[in-house]
Amino acid sequence: MSENKENIADLKPGMTVRVYQKIKELNSKGEEKERVQYYEGLIIAKKHGKEKGATITVRKVSDGIGVEKIFPLNLPTITKIEVKKEAKVKRAKLYYVRDYKKRLKEKTVKTAKK
C-alpha cells in the first residue's frame, strides 16, 4: 500500500487506469474466499488532492451503458493502480465525457505500474 500512496499525485484526469481491488466472497459451502478484481476505465475526476479522503471517479462503458465508480485512494482493499493510457485534456473535471461521442486524443502510452 505504501507504493500506492507515493503515486497518488501522479494520477490525473484523462488517464485510463486499471484499479486492482481485493474482493471477499462466500462460496456455496459458506467459506470466505478473497480474490483480486480489477476495474478499468477513464479517470474523469480527482478530488481532494493528497488528503486522506482523496478520491478518483473512474468511468467505463460496459455493454453500451456508462458505469462510474468512485474509489477512495486510501482504501485498504486497493492493491495497486496501473496506468494504461493518458489522453490530452484541458479540464480538471471531465464530466463532459458522459455526453461526448468522440474519443479523446491520446498523449503518451505509459507502461509504468502505479
- Residue extents of the structural domains in the chain: 2-96
Q: Looking at the DSSP assignment, which residues form a beta bridge with residue 19?
A: 39, 81
pLDDT for position 110 = 55
* C-alpha–C-alpha distance, residues 110 and 66, integer Å: 25
pLDDT for position 50 = 86
**Helices vs strands, H then E, count in the chain:** 1, 6
What predicted TM-score, i.e. pTM, was given to this entire model? Answer: 0.83
pLDDT for position 60 = 95
- Say whether pLDDT at 78 is over 60: yes
User: Which residue bears the cell 459458506?
Assistant: 30
* C-alpha–C-alpha distance, residues 1 and 79, integer Å: 6
Share of the chain above pLDDT 90, in %: 65
pLDDT band of 108, cuts 50, 70, 90:
low
**The listed CATH number (3.40.140.10, 3.40.50.300, 2.30.30.790, 3.30.830.10) that belongs to domain 2-96:** 2.30.30.790
> pLDDT of 16-39, one tens digit each?
999 999 999 988 888 899 999 999
- Decide which of 86 and 112 is more confident: 86
Mean pLDDT of the chain: 87
pLDDT for position 53 = 93
pLDDT for position 1 = 43
